[in-house]
Amino acid sequence: MASGESVAARWVSRQMVLLLVVLATLPLWIESIGLYPYLGVEIAIWMIYGLGFNLLLGYSGLPSFGHGAFFGIGAYAFGLFQLRVFESLFLGIACAVTAAFVAGAIVACFLSHRRGIYFALMTIAFGQVFWFISIKWHTLTGGEDGLLNIPRPAFELGVASAGLGSNTALFYFVLVVLAVVLVALWRLVHSPFGKVLQAIRQNEVRARFVGYNVWLFKWTVFAISAAIAGLAGSLFSMAQQSAYPDVMSLHASGIIVMMTLIGGGFVSFWGPVIGVAVYFLARDVLGAVTETWLLWFGLIFVLAVLFKPEGIAGAWQQHVGSGDRRSLARRAVAGFLSAGRK
Amino acid sequence: MALFEARGIHKRFGHQVVLERIDLGFESGQLSGIMGPNGAGKTTCFNVLTGQYKPDRGQVVLAGEDITGLAPNTIARKGIARSFQIMSLFDEYSALENLLIALPEVRERGFTMMNRLDSDSAAADRASTVLARVGLAGRERQRAGDLAYGERRALEIGVALAAEPRLLFLDEPTSGLSAKAIAGLAELVQGLKRDYSIVVIEHDMQFLFGLADTISVIHWGQVIASGAPEALRENKWVRRSMLGGKA
Amino acid sequence: MSHVLPHLLNGLSLGLLFALIALGFMLIVGVMELINLAHGSLFALGAYFAMVIISPDLAWLGAAGEAWAVLPLPVRYGLAVFLAPVLVAIVGMGLELCMRRTYGKKAEYGLLLTFGAALVIEETIRLVWGPSEQYLQVPQAISGAFLFAGLIYSKYKLYAALFAVGAIAAVWLFLERTPYGAIIKAGAHDSEMVRALGINLTRLRLLVFGLGAGLAGFAGIVMTPIWGLRPHVGIDAVIPAFLIIVLGGVGSFWGAVIGGILVGLAVGFTGAYASELSLLSMYLLLIAVVTFRARGLLGRKSGLEA
């Protein structure tokens, strides 16, 4: 229990610091290993997306196959705000988060009383509806081409201000957002709310008989998760300087499920973080060797579902838990991974 | 007036009538038993009383308030807690966390998102007390799924107790337990009687006759007899029903 | 009346084709309580297999290929219609063998596995046949157009509808006249009952998955001359299949047929009067049905509910 911990330890964990330090130094070394700085932007954005998504999949046991819709809504909302209203970083992001939250809240009304496969089915249907609208509503979304030339507004906070035109500047901005999301979600999953979500995943009937309004919890977590996806989407539209329907397709929605699961979202807070890093590294490293890297990634996913649904984080935990020779490094990694759940 | 009353409850599934004109009353401070052979409708009756199913007709009244057809979570918040015959725990949680989640003070803060539950030592203390009461002191950290069968049975009751109910429903608490474990359980329930109003469904006659203040016998979806245990022992309908349903 | 009739016929033939797409999906859902997200990929795979059989890559096969290529198109096509679904059925059975590891676990694992399988199959198609649009040849006898009541109709659509009717009838015979059919109709997910009837559940699942996959492949062969053949054509098949099963009711044969026709009519009519919205109408219909009647029109109680 944390009663003896310092105040700082209740907000931030060692893993968090480690992750943020590694990411913060990324622009210094990424090119020396043959990759490029923009990759860091993508990874950080998808980590935000994945962490929010895992609130549903891992913590609440709600498999959403249509989450790309909310990512896309965030991207479009941010873009439309910059293009149609006025250029503003924080208002644009607020608009994106609100739009995704509202869309998520509406969708959640239809599916919060559903479980398992029917839940997944409904999320697919809604995901497709949003994707379809994004393609067909030309006047608003620009159709299949999407919104182009979305500006990257400058960062302005009181006296401090900085342009986000360069990818490095944008990267550090995204990193700060990631840090905020990490801390907030870390608190959230350990809060009574987070504990109830996990209780609902384990035994929905009992949670109800203990006195929890399961519907309302599912509704709330779905809307929160959608809002975080929208936040990630707004950053993505800044990174790409455009917003397009692809990110809302069933395919794209499935990829975030795959990342989260492969990383170990079912057993660890850090699952999506690991999964996102693995996915993007696989894309760029495998992708450099073969054009069909997604085939191999799909195969890995299938094998993971069959043999290791706990994902990479779970494999590490088991590996270290069962071994006799426990090196310090191994234990450190296992501790790192299991810290997300008790 | 009784603490809890069921008046003229009817319940059918499709064409099958499962409960027919059930009238039950449970007094405050007593242990009331519901007895009957397998398939007589006991568990369905429990499920209707605790909100799992809506009755087709009839009324469920808690302390003068009509709670018919309310959702299980609403009924739970009005002070009715239940255990389950088929074990229903939060298996991945530790024994302590199972109880923490069920505490009323945690329930009231269910939508608190930024305070860590594990730094709330008052709640943890209270959960530990309940854990000790059901005989699981020292098992705080163990995953509920890893506990022994008998310990899981005890935790099942503990989760219901943690809610600090006005009325505690226990669904077949002896199910699957050895004779020795049943004796231990009887002792536990005897102790709980002092502090709680309790309703127990049981097919183990001995267990129930030793503990209950009053017993209602359900057969074919109807209450065929009710009264003090001694009186029921002599009732020929009860004997026939229980002998017939002994299997 | 005269302007409604063509849309009616169009919607009806589309509906029969939708019913065909949904049949294999229905069998798997009904018996295994599994939403097969790979259904669309198997659908696409069937069409690609047929394409290879009809017009094989001569460079690979040498003399044997040339001998094959001189056979008249109707012969090659006829063979493809039989052979390609069998090949897809074999792939489906392979998938079922993998599937076995997920039985008894949470239903989501089965769903995730079929999702992964869909991705793998689609990417394999992309790898082998390339990402661009292909063309599935059909014999001249069943292509072209004909005139009826003063309007021009596509001859192939008529034949496609006939193919669908044939397949629907065959599935009906299978369900009515074989012991397996009796089990499936009785709600075979109750494994105890299946064993009591002396049928090997393991074999039943393998058979049903093979059959479901084969039907998906057959639907792909029939459908792609109309829709076009691209690696991701499967997604266009999965969504209607969902909708039809949910609309008709899980595990109901006639539910699938009637659901298919209803969806076909809905898409046909919205296509005629508001073509931009024709696909959207399908998704909205799906949401409406799942929201208000999870059991569908003719469905029985299912573990998938709630």
pLDDT in tens, A312-323: 888 887 777 654
The answer to whether the CB of B6 falls within 8 A of the CB of B18 is no
pLDDT, position B14: 73
pLDDT at A3: 44
Q: How far, CA to CA in Å, does C261 sit from each of A203, B148, B229, C152, C183?
A: 40, 55, 64, 22, 26
Q: What pLDDT is stored for residue A342 in this prediction?
A: 39
Residue whose tokens read 């990818």: A167
Q: Give the pLDDT band (50/70/90) at residue C1.
A: very low
Q: What pLDDT was estimated at residue C138?
A: 80
* Mean pLDDT over the full length of chain A: 86
Report the alpha-carbon distance of residue C132 to residue C126 in Å, rounded.
8
Q: Which residues of C touch A144 (CB under 8 A)?
A: none
Q: How many CB atoms lie within 10 A of CB A98?
A: 14
* Mutation target vs A (from C119, C235, C270; most A CBs, 10 A cutoff): C119
Distance from the A208 Cα atom to the nearest Cα atom in chain B, whole angstroms: 5
pLDDT top residue among A77 and B177: A77
Q: Which two tokens stand for residue A122?
A: 């409904």
How far apart, in Å, do the first and last CA atoms of chain A sit?
A: 10
Q: How far is A54 from chain C (nearest CA, A)?
A: 15
Whether C14 and C268 have beta carbons less than 8 Å apart is answered as: yes
Q: Can you tell me the mean pLDDT for C260-270?
A: 85
Contact flag C279-A257 (C-beta cutoff 8 Å): no
B97 Cα to chain A: minimum distance (Å) = 9
**Which residues contact residue B17 at a Cβ distance below 8 angstroms, ignoring those fewer than 6 apart?**
B10, B11, B221
Q: Kindly list the partner chains of chain C, i.e. chains with 3 or more CB atom pairs below 8 Å.
A: A
| pLDDT band, very low/low/confident/very high, at B209 (cuts 50, 70, 90) | confident
| % of chain C beyond a pLDDT of 70 | 83
Q: Find, in chain C, the residue whose alpha carbon is nearest to that of A202.
A: C106
pTM of the predicted structure, to 2 decimals: 0.86
CB distance A258–C117 less than 8 Å?
A: no
- A188, A205, A206: best to mutate for the B interface, most B CBs within 10 A: A206
CB C216 within 8 A of CB C88: yes
Angstroms from C188 CA to nearest CA on chain A: 19
Closest chain A residue to B159, measured at CA: A210
Q: Which residues of A touch B (CB under 8 A)?
A: 1-3, 5, 10, 184, 187-188, 190-196, 198-199, 202-203, 205-214, 217, 220, 342
Type of residue at A139: T
- What is the average pLDDT across C94-113? 82
pLDDT at A150 over 80: yes
The reported pLDDT for the residue numbered A314 is: 81
Highest mean pLDDT among A178-187, C18-27, C47-56: A178-187
Task: Report the candidate in A123, A16, A117 with the shortest Cα–Cα distance to residue A70.
Answer: A123
How close A195 comes to chain B (CA, Å)?
Answer: 7
ipTM: 0.89
Contact B113 A191 (CB under 8 A): yes
> Both tokens of residue C104?
């008894």
Half-sphere exposure of A142 (CA within 13 A, CB side): 17
User: Residue C247 above 70 pLDDT?
Assistant: yes
Closest residue in B to A201 (Cα–Cα): B90
**For residue C203, what are the contacts with CB-CB under 8 A and spacing of at least 6?**
none
- Residue C151 near chain A (CB below 8 Å): no
Is C155 inside any structural domain?
yes
Quickly list H helices, A142-270. Answer: 167-190, 192-202, 204-210, 214-240, 250-263
- Where in C52-192 does DSSP place strands (E)? 145-148, 151-154
Q: What confidence tens digit (pLDDT) does each residue in B143-154 have?
A: 998 999 989 999
Q: Which pLDDT belongs to residue A83?
A: 92
A131 vs chain C: nearest CA distance in angstroms?
10
pLDDT digits (tens, 9 = 90+) for B42-64: 888 888 888 888 888 898 999 88
Q: Count of domains in chain C? A: 1
φ, ψ of residue C151 in degrees (nearest 5): -125, 155
Rounded Cα–Cα distance for residues A233 and A49 (Å):
8
Which pLDDT does position A324 carry in this prediction? 44
pLDDT at A76: 96
Q: What percent of chain A has pLDDT over 70?
A: 90
Long-range contact list for B123-132, CB < 8 A, 24+ apart?
Answer: B124/A1, B124/B96, B124/B100, B126/B162, B127/B96, B127/B99, B127/B100, B127/B103, B127/B162, B128/B96, B130/B99, B130/B158, B130/B161, B130/B162, B131/B95, B131/B96, B131/B99, B131/B158
- Looking at mean pLDDT, say which of A272-286, A327-341, C56-70 comes out highest: A272-286
Are the beta carbons of C36 and C212 closer than 8 angstroms?
yes
Range of the domain at C178: 11-233
> CA dihedral in degrees (A249, A254, A257, A260; nearest 10)?
-90
Query: CA dist C175 to C207, C252, C296, Å?
Result: 13, 11, 20
Position C54 scores a pLDDT of 85
- Whole-number Cα distances in Å, A293 to A144, A264, A288, C85, C119: 25, 21, 9, 28, 12
- The stretch A39-44 carries a mean pLDDT of 93
Residues C84 and C60: their CA atoms lie apart, in Å, by 19
- pLDDT recorded at residue C175: 85
Residue A145, pLDDT > 50, answer yes
Q: Quick check: A193 and B113 CB within 8 A?
A: yes
Q: Locate A232 and state its tokens.
A: 């990630």
Which residues, other chains included, contact A41 with Cβ-Cβ below 8 Å and sequence gap of 6+? A167, A170, A171, A174, A239
Q: How far is it, in rounded angstroms, from Cα B169 to Cα B159?
A: 12
Nearest to B88 among A5, A195, A203 (CB): A203
Domains and their CATH numbers in chain B: 1-79+165-247 (3.40.50.300), 92-163 (no CATH)
DSSP, collapsed to helix, strand or coil, labels residue B148 as coil
Q: Do A212 and B73 touch (CB under 8 A)?
A: yes
Indicate the Cα dihedral angle A329, A334, A335, A338, nearest 10°.
Answer: 170
pLDDT digits (tens, 9 = 90+) for C188-221: 455 566 666 666 777 888 888 999 999 999 999 9
Contact at CB, A120 and C108, closer than 8 angstroms: yes
Under an 8 A CB cutoff, do A211 and B71 touch?
no
The secondary structure element, H or E, covering residue A291 is: none
Instruction: Report, in angstroms and rounded to the nearest whole number, the Rg of chain B calculated over CA atoms.
Output: 18
Residue A325, pLDDT score? 44
Please give the CATH number for the structural domain made up of A2-338.
1.10.3470
Chain C CB contacts of A248 under 8 Å are: none
- Residue A221: is its pLDDT beyond 60? yes
Domain borders along chain A are 2-338
- Give residue C177's pLDDT: 86
Cα→Cα distances A216→B26, B71, B141, B160, Å = 32, 13, 29, 22
Residue predicted with more confidence, A261 or C278: A261
**B223 close contact with A: CB closer than 8 A:** no
Instruction: Report which DSSP code applies to C150.
Output: T
Q: Is C147 helix (H, G, I), strand (E, B) or coil?
A: strand
Residue C264 lies in a domain: no
Residues 64-123 of C with CB under 8 A from A: 98, 101-102, 105-109, 111-113, 115-117, 119-120, 123
**What is the percentage of chain B residues whose pLDDT exceeds 90?**
26
C22 pLDDT more than 50: yes
| C57 backbone dihedrals φ, ψ, rounded to 5° | -75, 105
Q: Residue A342 contacts by C-beta under 8 Å, 6 or more apart in sequence?
A: B94, B97, B118
Residue contact C117–A301, C-beta within 8 A: no
The minimum CA-CA distance between C306 and chain A, rounded to whole Å, is 5
Contacts for B41 with CB less than 8 Å, ≥ 6 apart: B18, B19, B218, B220, B221
Q: B89: part of which helix (H) or strand (E)?
A: none
Give the residue with greater pLDDT, A3 vs C127: C127
Strand spans (E) along chain B: 4-13, 16-26, 31-35, 57-62, 65-66, 80-82, 167-171, 197-202, 214-219, 222-227
pLDDT tens per residue across span C144-194: 777 776 667 778 888 888 999 999 999 999 888 887 777 776 654 555 666
Q: Which residues of C touch A308 (CB under 8 A)?
A: none
What is d(CA C55, CA C80) in angstroms, rounded to the nearest whole number?
10
Q: What is the mean pLDDT of residues A201-221?
A: 93
Structure confidence at residue C299 (pLDDT): 60
pLDDT at A239: 93
Across the interface, whether the CB atoms of B91 and A198 are under 8 A apart is answered: no
- Selected residues 255-294 of chain C with any CB under 8 Å from a CB in chain A: 276-277, 279-280, 283-284, 286-287, 290-291, 294
The predicted structure's pLDDT at residue B74: 92
User: How close A120 comes to chain C (CA, Å)?
Assistant: 9
Nearest CA to C171 out of C10, C6, C8, C28 is that of C28
**Mean pLDDT to the nearest integer, B16-29:** 85
